[in-house]
Structure 1
Amino acid sequence: MVSDYLKDMALFVEVVKARGFRGAAAALGMPNSTLSRRISELEKSIGLRLLHRTTRKVELTEAGQAYFERCKRIVDEARLAHEQLGEMLAQPSGVLRASLPVDFAVTYLAPLIAEFAHLYPGITFDFDLTPRRVDLVSEPYDVAIRMGESENSQLIARTLAMLTPGLYASPGYLERSGEPTKPAELERHECFNILRSGTWTLHDGRRSSTVAVSGRFNLNSVGMIRRMASLDMGIVLLPEQIVADELAAGRLRRILPQWHGTPQPVYAMTETRLLPAKTQRFIEFLRERLGRNAVQASA
């Protein structure tokens, strides 16, 4: 109801400015008859005659003059608020509080966050990179970036990308232990598990193979697993984005390249769907960049 009044007030202001229905209708891109009907309905709703209509132009009544002055202020303020809101959305500001997965953030998200910070200089950042799962309901965080399956159905999860794990080992390990040529051979190799998972399920586009893997180390830190693999201690199953630095430096290389693990989602968790501009932009930026880079990595 309020929005309808605002629209009719804006139409009334345009009619007065144009000094007639014909000019206002042309400027607004609407039929003259429709505009005339809307103003008549406005007059009926407030119970006052606002305009004297003649064949050539319209003139304000005394009540219409007072109403016009008020309407113009309201419409101008509404337009200004709309413009300011557009500016806020284009250049959001404030503190963005986010929880990020430690190893993924340090290895892969850091340059993306730096790029985002250059795009939006009005935003400052407060990041939590501890292993704990922050409580988005009771703690003042805007968003949490997570990998793997969503652990809380009460929160809003927005998928940012799907990352596909590959098999990687160091040249030193492969020289010492030999390079596997098929998934079954992984059973005799040192393989790094996360949280004591005892099997890896691999795919080649046509087949799937579930392999029982084991090793001397069971770790819950992706960074530690990556580091141990680069020190010639075994084979890892991780997304390329996580081991990008080791691949570039030659400390790790891809093995069994036709085989890969089950794609893992990267998603943004929020408490609500109604997000401030800073959080919306951050999520949209990561979705675009992570999605693009994931496609390039799989090409």
Structure 2
Amino acid sequence: MNYQDLFIFLKVVERGSFLSASESLSVPTSTVSRKVQQLENDLGYKLMHRSARKMVLTEAGVKFYNRCQPLFTELEYAAKELDDELAEPSGLLRVTAPVSLTNDLLAEWFFKFMERFPRINLELIVVNRNIDLVEEGIDVAFRIGDVRMQNWISRPLMESSFSVCASEDYLRRRGVPQHPQDLYQHTLIVTRRNPVWNFSKGDETVKIVGDARMKVDELNIAARAAENGLGIVNLPDYVVTKSLIAGRLKKLMPGWQPHPREVHMLYPERKYIPGKVRLFIEFVMFHANEKRFN
């Protein structure tokens, strides 16, 4: 059996007619018809009833197509994967991530990736809202917290630990809380995505849903507000570590551990992952593992 004839047969079925297949393959319609007829002769079965403008599969044609089409798709995937591995990766990669997570952590990884793969262009959509990933044509997305999206793979990237903190000025004026329940007597600065604060100490857990004097969707603004003595914050360590080291903020209730949140990386669930996307995923996972174990 001639596999070129098989390919042409599959293309005719895919396009719905000999004419459309010939236009797609840039070969004469007569050649398409002759190749399909030769395939039928080799198999000993009539695969379709045909004319120049339309075709109808026979029972044998339906069975043959259903068996062969997935095999050819696998071959195309294999060839594409090989090309991605041997050729220098290139093209546009669209990535979205939250603002503070990007500024305080991911940006350096993105820059290193671009240095490593100079022919890959990166388009970053840095926002604090969950945009429509399909409509925006996103290749990879970063999300914080519990993530469930149909037809998207969600890979845990790292666990983001939190710290409850305030400025020395605020604590002098309002006192230092010793227990999470004490927070109800204080002014809280709350982020929109983490309005409920959960704490653990041994087997004891406490949930705090306090009234926020300030609610904001950008974590660094919340940290700055706390530095200016406006209230108490519960923020990821990647946001407040520098402020704690510099003394602009003080960590509170060291015996109580705010619940961490998982950072996830998402990408579409599909059989074939483009080489540029696969390289980006592997690159980010490597740096996340490196950070986790250092």
Quick check: TM above 0.5? Answer: yes
**Aligned equivalent of 1:207:** 204
> Which ranges in structure 1 are unaligned for 5 or more consecutive residues?
3-79
1:181 corresponds to 2:178: yes
**Aligned equivalent of 2:252:** 255
Give runs of aligned pairs for residues 119-130 of structure 1, distance below 5 A: 119-130=116-127
> Quick check: 2:85–2:275 contact (8 Å CA) kept in 1?
no
- Within the candidate set 258, 275, 278, 1:277 is matched to 275
In the alignment, residue 277 of structure 1 is paired with which amino acid? G
In the alignment, residue 254 of structure 1 is paired with which amino acid? K
**Aligned equivalent of 1:137:** 134
Deviation at 1:93, TM superposition (A): 2.4
**Aligned equivalent of 2:158:** 161
Judged with a 3 Å threshold, the aligned counterparts in structure 2 of structure 1 residues 200 and 81 are, in CA distance, closer, same or farther, namely: closer
Tell me, in whole angstroms, the C-alpha distance in 2 between the residues paired with 1:127 and 1:100. Answer: 8
> Which ranges in structure 2 are unaligned for 5 or more consecutive residues?
3-78
TM-score by length of 1: 0.64
Larger radius of gyration: 1
**Aligned equivalent of 1:290:** 288
**Aligned equivalent of 1:38:** none
Judged with a 3 Å threshold, the aligned counterparts in structure 2 of structure 1 residues 275 and 245 are, in CA distance, closer, same or farther, namely: farther
1:225 corresponds to 2:219: no
1:111 corresponds to 2:97: no
Tell me, in whole angstroms, the C-alpha distance in 2 between the residues paired with 1:258 and 1:295. Answer: 24
Deviation at 1:206, TM superposition (A): 3.4
> Quick check: 1:107–1:245 contact (8 Å CA) kept in 2?
no
Deviations 1:255-290 (Å, cap 9, x if unpaired)?
A: 222322222111122222432222222222223323
Tell me, in whole angstroms, the C-alpha distance in 1 between the residues paired with 2:239 and 2:266. Answer: 20
Deviations 1:24-48 (Å, cap 9, x if unpaired)?
A: xxxxxxxxxxxxxxxxxxxxxxxxx
Tell me, in whole angstroms, the C-alpha distance in 1 between the residues paired with 2:81 and 2:108. Answer: 34
Judged with a 3 Å threshold, the aligned counterparts in structure 2 of structure 1 residues 95 and 196 are, in CA distance, closer, same or farther, namely: closer
**Aligned equivalent of 1:193:** 190
Deviation at 1:181, TM superposition (A): 2.0
Deviation at 1:83, TM superposition (A): 7.1
**Aligned equivalent of 1:96:** 93
Tell me, in whole angstroms, the C-alpha distance in 2 between the residues paired with 1:199 and 1:138. Answer: 31
1:234 corresponds to 2:218: no
> Quick check: 2:98–2:129 contact (8 Å CA) kept in 1?
no
Deviation at 1:111, TM superposition (A): 1.7
Percent identity between matched residues is 29
Judged with a 3 Å threshold, the aligned counterparts in structure 2 of structure 1 residues 135 and 186 are, in CA distance, closer, same or farther, namely: same
**Aligned equivalent of 2:25:** none
Aligned residues between the structures: 221
Judged with a 3 Å threshold, the aligned counterparts in structure 2 of structure 1 residues 93 and 185 are, in CA distance, closer, same or farther, namely: same
